[in-house]
Amino acid sequence: MVAALLKRLGVAEQAHSRGDHPVHTPIDGSRIASVELAGEAQTTAAIDHAQRAFEAWRDVPAPRRGELVRLFGEVLRRHKADLGELVSVEAGKITQEGLGEVQEMIDICDFAVGLSRQLYGLTIASERPGHHMRETWHPLGVVGVISAFNFPVAVWAWNTTLALVAGNAVVWKPSEKTPLTALACQALFEQALKAFGEAPAGLAQVVIGGREAGEALVDDARVALVSATGSTRMGREVGPRVAARFGRSILELGGNNAMILAPSADLDLAVRGILFSAVGTAGQRCTTLRRLIVHRSVKGEVLTRLKAAYAKVRIGDPRQDNLVGPLIDRQAFEAMQGALAQARDEGGEVFGGARQLAEQYPNAYYVAPAIVEMPAQSAVVRHETFAPILYVLAYDDFEEALRLNNEVPQGLSSCIFTTDLREAERFQSASGSDCGIANVNIGTSGAEIGGAFGGEKETGGGRESGSDAWKGYMRRQTNTVNYSRELPLAQGIVFD
Residue 477: name the closest of 159, 245, 140, 141 by CA.
Answer: 140
**287 contributes a contact to ligand UN1 by CB under 6 A:** yes
For ligand UN1, what does the binding mask look like between residues 112 and 151, x meaning CB under 6 A?
A: --------------------------------------xx
Q: Which long-range contacts (CB under 8 A, 24 or more apart) does 328-334 make?
A: 328/26, 328/91, 328/92, 328/149, 328/150, 328/177, 328/284, 329/24, 329/26, 329/177, 329/365, 330/365, 332/284, 332/365, 332/386, 332/387, 333/365, 333/367, 333/387
Candidate ranges 237-245, 284-292, 311-319, 341-349; the one touching ligand UN1 (CB under 6 A): 284-292
Q: Which amino acid is at 71?
A: L
**286 contributes a contact to ligand UN1 by CB under 6 A:** yes
Candidate ranges 36-44, 55-63, 279-287, 347-355; the one touching ligand UN1 (CB under 6 A): 279-287
Number of residues that bind ligand UN1 (CB under 6 A): 11
Q: What is the DSSP letter of 29?
A: -
**447 contributes a contact to ligand UN1 by CB under 6 A:** yes
**446 contributes a contact to ligand UN1 by CB under 6 A:** yes
CB 292 within 8 A of CB 348: no
CA gap 419, 98 in Å, rounded? 33
CB 138 within 8 A of CB 474: yes
Q: What is the DSSP string of 34-85?
A: EEPPB-HHHHHHHHHHHHHHHHHHTTS-HHHHHHHHHHHHHHHHHTHHHHHH
Shortest Å, Cβ 305 to ligand UN1: 23
Total count of residues recorded for the chain: 496
Is residue 286 part of the annotated active site? The answer reads yes
Applying CB under 6 A, which of residues 175, 229, 257, 459 lies at the interface with ligand UN1?
229
Closest to ligand UN1 by CB, 147 vs 377, is 147
Closest to ligand UN1 by CB, 104 vs 384, is 104
> Parallel, antiparallel, or unpaired for β 366-367 and 248-252?
unpaired
CA gap 99, 271 in Å, rounded? 24
For ligand UN1, what does the binding mask look like between residues 147 and 176, x meaning CB under 6 A?
A: ---xx---x---------------------
Shortest Å, Cβ 209 to ligand UN1: 20
Closest to ligand UN1 by CB, 150 vs 178, is 150
Shortest Å, Cβ 289 to ligand UN1: 10
CA gap 488, 486 in Å, rounded? 6
Closest to ligand UN1 by CB, 229 vs 256, is 229
Q: Which amino acid is at 21?
A: H
**227 contributes a contact to ligand UN1 by CB under 6 A:** no
Candidate ranges 25-33, 203-211, 322-330, 445-453; the one touching ligand UN1 (CB under 6 A): 445-453
* Residue of 85, 252, 384, 458 marked active site: 252
Is residue 435 part of the annotated active site? The answer reads no
Residues belonging to the active site: 252, 286
**Which residues make up the interface to ligand UN1 (CB under 6 A)?**
104, 150-151, 155, 229, 285-287, 445-447
